[in-house]
Chain A
């Protein structure tokens, strides 16, 4: 082993410290850049200014959900603009999506939080499940006791309409004119702050 005198040890020690410090900073930067480089370029986002008026089937709704959305039971289908609300929150989800599974409780809490608060505007929530059959949507609903209406999209029609966004994905639009106010990709940490953002965007 190389014997160093005190001065050499001090110099070597300082050089080593500088090397370690530089190394950590460089590695941190590389990880940071590498993570963003690994994300797909142009990751899908919903770009439209208004929520599409493509029909949603009434047959997927029970009486309670019809009343919740303010939809006439006599019609065969309805569009998002028909929902009787000031704000509509759409969750794009999948039974198969592990993030959606982990987040289901938080989404539910947000729904119930909304119902329990005295809000000065009417907020309604729906879910659309690309690639999920009615059976699969039912499994998700039962597993997490989801209270708001959920719509299967087995043939990915809505998936294409919404720009092939991933799951979970949230679209918040005005109930007056279907104008999109805000979109959010991925999980959200806190139902309270998410709801506050929905209300104030």
Chain B
């Protein structure tokens, strides 16, 4: 009985308090240079195809959506950091904007899959796929010109229409979050 009690105490202390501590105890990086990269693509270009592993367990390619969905690539610098931890969860209650424009978000960072998986779970889950650009490190971010010198991605958004053409690019100050209305207005540019 005492052992069951010990196990209970162990679990009781671990689970609910840990989930609060997980969001409270995240790393607060110092303020960084707003933008530290140079785009290699521009509006009007065909977006390069890519394949990245998803925390959902599959590999996802941009070409999977050709002819079916508009795609918004949402790059964030790093998991477990304040601005990032409160960017993607916001899109959970903005999904109807994306659905209205037949658009899917692909969330991307250079973190590895286990890190992304744990972080997304701690945030309560997301409606869109989250992809790891870990290996080759920042391969896609670098190809698009949104890889910073420190190896993190910019806080960047690229909107790609169903034909694969880039219709909108925005690289935000890494210390801030792009306003939601910026993304919603961007989707109005879609054909």
A residues touching B (Cβ–Cβ < 8 Å)?
A: 17, 20-21, 24-25, 27-28, 31-32, 35-36, 38-40, 43, 94-99, 101-102, 131, 133, 135-136, 139-140, 143, 154, 166-167, 186
Contact = CB atoms under 8 A, between A and B. Distances in A.
Q: Is the interface of A mostly helix, strand, loop or mixed?
A: helix
Interface in B1-40: 2-3, 6-7, 9-10, 13-14, 17-18, 20-21, 23-25, 28
Contacts of B25: 38-40
Interface residues of B, number: 30
Given A24-B6, A28-B13, 19 more contacts: A20-B3, A21-B6, A27-B10, A28-B6, A28-B9, A31-B14, A35-B21, A36-B21, A94-B86, A96-B86, A96-B87, A99-B23, A101-B89, A102-B124, A133-B181, A135-B181, A136-B179, A140-B93, A186-B20
A38 B21 contact: yes
Nearest to A17: B3
A33 B21 CA distance: 12
B180 interface: yes
A139 B94 contact: yes
Contacts of B2: 21
A136 B90 contact: yes
Contact of A133 (B3, B23, B24, B179): B179
A164 B141 CA distance: 32
B13 A31 contact: yes
Given A24-B3, A31-B14, A39-B25, A143 B20 contact: no
Nearest to A97: B86
A166 B24 contact: yes
A25 B14 CA distance: 13
B179 A97 contact: no
> Considering residues B2, B21, B90, B92, which has the most beta carbons from chain A within 10 angstroms of its beta carbon?
B90
